Amino acid sequence: MTNPIEMEKRFQVKQADLNDFLENKKFISSKQVVDEYLDTSDGLFYQDGIFIRLRNGKSLDFKFNPDHLGANNVNEHVTCHEYNVALPFQNPSAHVFETLAKMIPIKCPEPYTYEEFLKINNLKTLLILDKKRTTYEDDLFVIAVDEFADFGIFLELEAKDNNMQKEAFLSEVANATKGMKVTEFNSGYIELRLRQINEQLYLKGKYLIDSDVAA
């Protein structure tokens, strides 16, 4: 499955402050999500804002903003493109790699296997993130509540309508979270973990945590 454009906004929040917000939302699912992020030994994809992950061993996902590739000082993380390839690889999904190769430095493996994909692109495990994700929805948003043992709880609002204008999306997010005790979080979970385990590489990324940008 491929969903070229994704708009989302993330906040750090406490469970007690979520109860009223979630009261009228439709529950979808609750599951453990393990994301293995892949990169070169020197983190070249991360440094250019390209995120490659294996989710629960079943889906290979690519996330990036084409407008940010090769650019500096773009610490804005609302809109991105996302491409997905199911594992094990099947021939019909090869077109995804053909599309990606026109935008980012990714090679399509031959033979068409996950193992060859790692080998030909010089990829290895950068880090692993383990979280409990509970998903809800309303008319406007797919709503994810992500719980980490060490990071706390995050609320993620993703636009259901990918054609919504960015300004309209941000306005709806502001309305939805009005009155809530939330802390806007403009970075990603991978940056949180890298900040802990490899600060040198973390600081080379595009989407640093706001307090580090200010510093």
Nearest CA among 125, 107, 109, 112 for reference residue 190: 125
Instruction: Find out whether 41 and 124 touch, Cβ atoms under 8 Å.
Output: yes
What pLDDT, on the 0 to 100 scale, is given for residue 4?
74
Residue 49: predicted pLDDT: 94
Centroid of chain to Cα 5: 12
pLDDT, position 113: 96
What is the number of structural domains in the chain? 1
**Does residue 111 sit in helix, strand or coil?**
coil
Which pLDDT belongs to residue 215? Answer: 56
Q: Which residues contact 42 (CB under 8 A, 6 or more apart)?
A: 201
Name the helix (H) or strand (E) containing 21: helix 15-22
pLDDT of residue 210: 81
CB 57 within 8 A of CB 73: no
The CATH number that applies at residue 171 is 2.40.320.10
pLDDT value, residue 118: 98
Give the separation between CA 65 and CA 51, rounded to whole angstroms. 10
- The tens place of each residue's pLDDT in the chain, 215 residues long, gives 455 789 999 999 999 999 999 999 999 999 999 999 999 999 999 999 999 999 999 999 999 999 899 887 676 778 899 999 999 999 989 999 999 999 999 999 999 999 999 999 999 999 999 999 999 999 999 999 999 999 999 999 999 998 899 999 999 999 999 999 999 998 999 999 999 999 999 999 999 988 887 65
Of residues 20, 53, 68, the one with CA closest to residue 131: 53
Full residue range of the structural domain in which residue 166 is found? 2-214
Residues 153 and 166: their CA atoms lie apart, in Å, by 25
SS3 195: helix
Query: Tokens 């440094």 belong to which residue?
Result: 47
Task: Give the pLDDT of residue 1.
Answer: 44
Q: Which helix (H) or strand (E) holds 193?
A: helix 189-197
Residue 3: predicted pLDDT? 57
Nearby residues of 210 by Cβ (< 8 Å), 6 or more positions away:
75, 184, 186, 187
Considering all CA atoms of the chain, what is the largest pairwise distance in Å, rounded to the nearest integer? 54
Compute, in degrees rounded to 10, the torsion defined by CA atoms 192, 133, 136, 207.
20
Instruction: Tokens for 170, please give them.
Output: 């941000």
